[in-house]
Structure 1
Amino acid sequence: MRLLIILINTLLTLADKCTIRPYEAKGPKRSGNNGYAIEVDAATTRSDNGSTGFIPGETYKISIRGWRTKFTVQTFRGFVLSALFEDGKPAGKFEVVRGRGDARTSPGCRKGGVSHSNLRPKTSVHTIWKAPDVSTGCVILRASVIESKYVWYSEEGDLTKKFCIQDGYQKVVPVDDPNMECCACDQAKYELEFIGLWSKETHPKDFPTLEHLTHFTDMLGASHSRNYSLWEIGGISTDGMKEIAEWGNTFKAEAEAKEKAAEVRTLMKVKGLWYPEVQGRTKSSFVVNKYHHLASLATMFGPSPDWCVGISSVNLCLPDCSWVAERTFDLLPFDAGTDSGPTYMSPNSPQEPRVPIRWITTKDDPLSPFYSTETDVIPPLAKLILKRTEVIPMRCLADDEYQREAFNSTNTSEDEEYKDRRECLMSNWGSWSLCSATCGKGIRMRSRVFVFPIKAQMFNCHRQTTERQFCNAKINECEDSEAFNSKCAVGSWEPWSECSVTCGHGTRTRTRAFLNPKQQESECNVDLIRKDICVGESGDDCSVTPDPLCKTTSWSEWSPCSASCDDGVRVRTRLFFFAEHEQRCSHITLQEKDSCILQSCRRFIEQNSEEICQEPKEEGQCGGTFPRYWYNHEKQKCERFVYTGCKGNRNQFETEDECKRVCVPGYEIEKSSVPNHQLIDEFGAGEVNDGGDPVPCEMNEWTPWGQCSVTCGRGKKTRTRQIKTFPRNGGTPCPEHLIQELRCELRPCPSTKCRAGSWSRWSRCSVTCGEGVQTRRRRVQKGRNGDWEEEECKEKETEERICRIPCPRFP
């Protein structure tokens, strides 16, 4: 154990150390710099080898170049570049795009440096560096350059630069006062990036038990004037804000914004983050001007009663009449005041009348997942970054001119970006799917496709193809479920106990309790104790001494089933404590799979057909004319109506026969079909015969080709298509192939010093009792790097470990 602690401390010390000696450089460095130099942006150089200085928070282009003449250009192979404060701590941040360009994060200086990603000859290299947000101090830029395998230079001459804060710099901070006027005549374009942080690790208390329902809904934001507000602390939620807070539905809030079109410059509809991508990133863009200089955004996180995160009337205009370069916000939860539920899983409990919007604190209802007697701090649920990407020179206009321009151009940011790009044209949204739950809360979704999918892929059209919303099932509370039952509400599971054995297979347990301490366990069908099979910390083989460098974390929870009905798969994973030894520990299993079976797909459809057929007729909100049938529940018959092409609901069918099969009791119920559901295994694919005319199979268009399966070298990409209409009554059958593959070839993979194959299995122990040795082998192929000599390869071809077998005891 002591050895392990020393090893960990050594690794942590090495991780903080910053060295700029290139790994590939051999022998001692040469004196001087041989004409190589660091260049920072286009700054002029002073005699003291400094530059005009940096502005905190701004970005700069840092380059390394060789000397040039009229006929020759100096080349080099590799480099290392670091940016450190004078005390050796990392300064600022290098922006590196993984897998692209000539730069990568430096292995020897991860927190404050970059290095070459290949050893191909290069005449210069460029990287983007963001200056640290400090008020005083200097940054030392140091570089090393590899000219050939045994010739390299480091830190001397112009390979070191001292970069200090610009003389006379005074930090200008925006003032978040909605009543403050802006004096910046130029327009500015901003990129908005939303980063999800909310998880059961950051907010473990009573985290939703139905983890697959966790999400940040589609977000609505705007750049606007002082005369518009999406939400504000102390204000009352509008109908539109109520829909966002309770269901993630932005339609009403969009309509409210468009009613004040003169006060809104850009309306942002931002794609939400849904499980398993709750900790992902999503982006949008918007424009601000002298009159519309504020920004707001709101998104519901759920499942929850009406809890949201966002920003309200944030000012991007600076007192010096310029636009702020970047603003970052840690987003904390607020209560929209439209539902009084205290927990994530609370059933609907409308707050009438609505109460003012307020920040959620740790001293609210004791049932709240944020309640705590020990702290007043709630960890942020998300991070929001507003980054200026462009300043557009403009002359100052009168307020009414800005209003008139906005009134004629207010649109969602996505529509505005793609309005003149025909290749990015999309179909209308399809109908909303059924709610995924039969009781409590669930998710519904709808989709659309590119009209020209091949062109959309060629021209990099990034438009939202799927929308999701929170939904309430017909039954508000689940009597036999722990999820949406207020009476039997339970807290989150405690951490798993230690495994009952140190090696081999044992058991572990964990517990949880009712939120109401007086609740009797006999009155609720809820598990309060859970047991699981586990493997001891020393591995499943008690005769083998474990390798301390191959230590792993505990297994994660099982993932949700991959299918919502019928057969599916669930997985769980674990990680190495020391990821750098992954190759050495390749014999350790890091992922397990298991089959799972939920309810029958046929049963799910039959259970929800009643809900479909009771929905009212909705013609939609577009201008199309599509004949459809809907089931009139009051008259108990199918009637014809005209569908306009978008919005609407599920109670719409292309033929009267289809309407009757789904909704009319006793009408060939065993052969009913529901629109937008493809259940080949349940209903067959070509075996249906109802005595009518032959109906041939109809297929959807092929989807765009997917990404190449590899990042370098040869791989493949795929595309798929789906069955639109199944054949009936002997019609033309559907093709068997629904997936196509195409070979793709990217840039060559960077060569490595050597390539190691998989390890063989461990041999038997060399003794029958006592302490012996086990051996395993693998094949190692040596490679070349450019036109250099063959690199040395340190990968082992043979490995041994100690094994112990108990000796029999004799009387």
Structure 2
Amino acid sequence: MYYILYYIVLLVSFGYVTGQPGRCDQTPLQAKVLEPSKDTGIFRLDIQNTPGRAEKTYYSPDQTYVLTIRTTVPEKTFKWFMITAEDPEVDNNVFEFSHKNIDVGTLKTLDINKSRYSERCSSSVENADNSYKSDVEIHWVSPKQSSKNQTVRIRAMVAENDEVWYTGDNLTVVLYKNTDKALDSPPFPPSKHCNLCSEARYEVIFYGKWSRVAHPRHYPSKPDDNGYSHMVGCSHVYNYSLWQQGINASDGLKILAETADSSVLEREIISQMNERSGTRTLIRGKRRHHPYMSEPSHALFRVDRFHHLFSIAVGMRPSPDWFLGTSKFELCTDEGWLEEEEIPLYPWDAGTMDGISYESQPTVSTPRDNVERVEVGSFNVDSPFYQINLNDLPPFAKLKVRRLDVFPLIGAECSEEAAEKEEEEKLEEKEEDAEEEAQEEPVVGEVKQSFAHEDRCSRSEWGAWSSCNPNNGNCGAGFRSRTRRPLEKNIYNENYDYQDNVQVQPLSRNCEDQDTKSVEYQDCFIDCY
């Protein structure tokens, strides 16, 4: 008898009260009848702004959707309701106490007099009073991240009284993650290798679109103070990140997003320049302020089979720490160097300052958050993006990239195998040189032949390893890196006025006899829950 009572307590405590790990029991607490009435469609659960394809309903990550329970018969009303967001697999895990928590999004109450967060089940909202209702509206914010194409089920219960209550197909919506690319995604995914036996020269153009007409909600009260920072970026290798969603912003990006000062980010780019790793060309376009924010900002850059991607960032003022840009834009395709492409740009949050609106008083984010999309679909009425989905938000800028020239590499071996073989040969040569140097007797008091050469080629100690950067999505196999900086003084002259389209050559071109590598990479893995 004791074991039976203990088992019942476990079911109540873990399955039907908290909603974890079992399926939420939506039976009304006041119900005298424990089985729902037949679902005849008197009450329906609808969800707005979701595209349907092939009889399926899809959601986009981190977006706001309106859930509505309504009556289809005018004279019918209901007293109680409950809405639950859940993983459909929960049906198979009623007694599985090791069931992992899965991101099913967040339900938001809109009227505290009508609805409240349920204490019986997780991810659930229920009635807050006993009044008769003909409809009720709840918001659902879809999952931000997922290790798979997550399916979410929204399930509702509606009760007319303590004897008549409903669940069923008309009160259930199953949503599938929309795997289509975001509107501002580059046309091709980043590729580890580029086998094109040529180099290319590109022009990138930033067209500002932020205006009172296109973005009227909470538009800055002093538009004369509005402006974009310099467009700053670089062409780079696959394993380099100027910025990336889900990763902490660098100090340079932090300063750019908070103050529109691009100098530190430019130094970070320059310090990583290398013939076969890091960055190749510094991209720098003119800053634009009101009333010239719609005028384009141009820059030129070059790419090669190592540095075949580019990234840029443009700060927005005023804002807490928001910026525009693109990350790891791939230019190397199976058909050759990409000819031309244009994408819209939407604000990103650097994660270093907390602020709701353009002119809100920001506070330091402690600890520093990752770079994420600005909270589009916010429930805060002071937000410029209050209940606005990304698909309905006019772009804040457009970015156009077009190819100008292609320069064939005569006699070069550009296949992936040739590149790997070349790297192996260089590594072997370095190891042999290191062995020879280790066998030589040190010379006491030896003076370097060229201090300029030493200053140019010397590097600092290695810094700490970065956090793990997944190859795809937000978890799984990836890499982490650590960096060190050149010790040369005046690498970046504070008084030098950089012109647009400047190309800075790698510092290591004349340092073959020293280890000038500025970045190291290491494989890592992030668990997917």
Specify the TM-score bucket, using the shorter chain as the normaliser. Answer: 0.3 to 0.5
**Bigger Cα Rg:** 1
Using the size of structure 1 for normalisation, the TM-score is 0.28
**Larger RCO: Structure 1 or Structure 2 (Cα < 8 Å, ≥ 6 residues apart)?**
2
